[in-house]
Structure 1
Amino acid sequence: MSERYYAPTGGHPPQTDLLTDRAIFTEAYAVIPKGTMRDIVTSALPFWRGTRLWVLSRPLSGFAETFSQYIMEVQPGGGSDRPETDPGAEGVLFVVGGRVTVHLDGTAHALGEGGYAYLPAGSGWRLENAGAEVARFHWIRKAYEPVDGLDAPEPLFLNEADIAPTEMPGTNGVWATTRFVDPADLRHDMHVTIVTFQPGGVIPFLETHVMEHGLYVLEGKAVYRLNGDWVEVEAGDYMWLRAFCPQACYAGGPGRFRYLLYKDVNRHAALPRRA
């Protein structure tokens, strides 16, 4: 397993373990600790072979509204020739273990650890694990919101290792973001990035804003402030934050703290229609 990207492996705790853990579910945020991702809570999907997954978030009353997020575990020889059954769904893949090959428009794209793919809605992609080890990757899905006058974004196949992180102003590099998509490209209605804090780095104010968030901790540990509560998180934990949930964090070390971040961007707030 990679030392940079934590991924669950399942299993089952012994009867002698304590029942208490750090799982929290509130109307403003949720924390799903790595210890909850066991064999008994995996799911399966139509048209996928040799595959199981952990569902981290899904559209649900009182929970995620704009996206779903899975951790996929694909055995050697596994994959799908029809992975996405919703023609309106765009997707992002981020590989945290092993290798997969994504086939799109007659081209095979190999993605190893740190590999990123943006897959537009209706693109008809396929995926296989042609390697000898289990592959694990995040799959983030969102209903694409087209805008009249803007073209749909094209597919992207990248790797984190090839992208220089953008330092937050005035932080001397202790807080930085790896961006796979240009923030000025308004064709995109979601961003999936990697946020990195060096030990001692902080979000120095309570962010309270319109974006819905999904955060999966790839590496390290920190203390997060969520809607008035302090919670400890570590590699393998997942957090969901509803829009306007106050948030801040402190990375205490001893190593860096990194997470994969989803947020919805670049679109008008949907307004209710009256009859």
Structure 2
Amino acid sequence: MPTTYASPIAGLPPQTALHTGRAVFTEAYALIPRGVMRDIVTSYLPHWKDTRAWVIARPMTGFSETFSQYIVEVFPGGGSERPEPDAGAEGVLFVVEGLAAVTIAGKAHALKPGGYVYLPPGCKWTLANKSDAPVRLHWVRKRYEAVDGIDIPAPFVANEQDEPIIWMPDTKNTWGTTRFVDPTDVRHDMHVNIVTLEPGAVIPFEETHVMEHGLYVLEGKAVYRLNRDWVEVEAGDFMWLRAFCPQACYAGPDRFRYLLYKDVNRHMKLGL
């Protein structure tokens, strides 16, 4: 089945556009719909050339606590030789448009849409756009939680189109996850996976768990349960879910897929 990847529509809406939209920010979740990811809300990053970013999650009180997430747009000739300012941060890159040239510890990699990179803390890497068209990619960043006696994971490069979907039991292969890391590998303290629901598939119960989530809809549309609300979402939307925020889903008439962040495999910090 052909794969598509949504990304911001950019530009600005016309002056005649209706103001009413779907954006909402609550104590348990936030929805940043595709229609508000416009030029005027982009940010520019130090040591990045000809690049801008939509910051769709950042650690702050009452919002994302464990991660940040950018949609980075790199124009031809742009990129960075010093992309990550925090030596304690790990990262995942996921390419949704264009061709990116990534170098990790001196080894070059050409990434097309679906390209996935895990970058451990302290990893030396660069990114460049050597093509004649813009590159768009997600960059998920988290402060790595080191554990005594457990090694830091090594960097790796993959493409989601080469990875199998692991279907949930008793779903007739309609709800599954593309996993880039073994869930039992406790070296990793975050997972960035892709969830797929075939047309009409459901998450049939209100998941309520300790993991914080960031969900970027890559393809399709659905009705998603967020805390007390059923919310319509579509390709290009971003959802943030606080830990223990109930969630469920009814997929729409087409395949529904999203890029999913969650924090995993660590003890809970005690105290404030």
Identify the residue that residue 271 of structure 1 maps to in structure 2.
270
Length, aligned pairs only? 271
Identify the residue that residue 239 of structure 1 maps to in structure 2.
239
Identify the residue that residue 4 of structure 2 maps to in structure 1.
4
For residue 3 of structure 1, report the CA deviation from its aligned partner. Answer: 5.8
Q: Secondary structure at the match of 1:214?
A: strand
Q: Secondary structure at the match of 1:186?
A: coil
For residue 184 of structure 1, report the CA deviation from its aligned partner. Answer: 1.3
For residue 66 of structure 1, report the CA deviation from its aligned partner. Answer: 0.1
Q: Deviations over 1:109-166 (max 9, x none)?
A: 1111000000011112111011111000000000000000100000010000110110
Matched, 1:173 2:173: yes
Once residues 175 and 7 of structure 2 are traced to their aligned partners in structure 1, the CA distance between those partners, rounded to angstroms, is 23
Once residues 6 and 257 of structure 2 are traced to their aligned partners in structure 1, the CA distance between those partners, rounded to angstroms, is 10
Residues 1-275 of structure 1: pairs in structure 2 closer than 5 A: 4-253=4-253, 255-272=254-271
User: Structure 1 vs Structure 2: percent identity of aligned residues?
Assistant: 68
Runs of 4+ in 1 over 2 A off after TM superposition: none
Q: Secondary structure at the match of 1:136?
A: strand
Q: Deviations over 1:42-62 (max 9, x none)?
A: 000000001001000000110
Amino acid aligned to 2:262: K
Once residues 129 and 252 of structure 2 are traced to their aligned partners in structure 1, the CA distance between those partners, rounded to angstroms, is 37
Once residues 106 and 125 of structure 2 are traced to their aligned partners in structure 1, the CA distance between those partners, rounded to angstroms, is 10
Q: Secondary structure at the match of 1:138?
A: strand
For residue 272 of structure 1, report the CA deviation from its aligned partner. Answer: 1.4
Amino acid aligned to 1:139: W
Q: Deviations over 1:194-233 (max 9, x none)?
A: 0000011101000000000000000000000111101000
Q: Deviations over 1:68-124 (max 9, x none)?
A: 000000001100000000000000000000011111111101111000000011112
Once residues 135 and 92 of structure 1 are traced to their aligned partners in structure 2, the CA distance between those partners, rounded to angstroms, is 16
2:76–2:132 CA contact under 8 A, matched in 1: yes
Q: Secondary structure at the match of 1:12?
A: coil
Once residues 232 and 196 of structure 2 are traced to their aligned partners in structure 1, the CA distance between those partners, rounded to angstroms, is 17
Amino acid aligned to 1:154: A
Once residues 73 and 143 of structure 1 are traced to their aligned partners in structure 2, the CA distance between those partners, rounded to angstroms, is 23
Q: Secondary structure at the match of 2:35?
A: helix
2:220–2:252 CA contact under 8 A, matched in 1: no
Q: Secondary structure at the match of 1:161?
A: helix
For residue 9 of structure 1, report the CA deviation from its aligned partner. Answer: 3.6
User: What is the RMSD of the two structures over their aligned residues, measured on CA atoms?
Assistant: 1.0
Q: Secondary structure at the match of 2:14?
A: coil
Q: Secondary structure at the match of 2:40?
A: helix
Once residues 264 and 3 of structure 1 are traced to their aligned partners in structure 2, the CA distance between those partners, rounded to angstroms, is 26
Amino acid aligned to 1:230: W
Q: Secondary structure at the match of 1:43?
A: coil
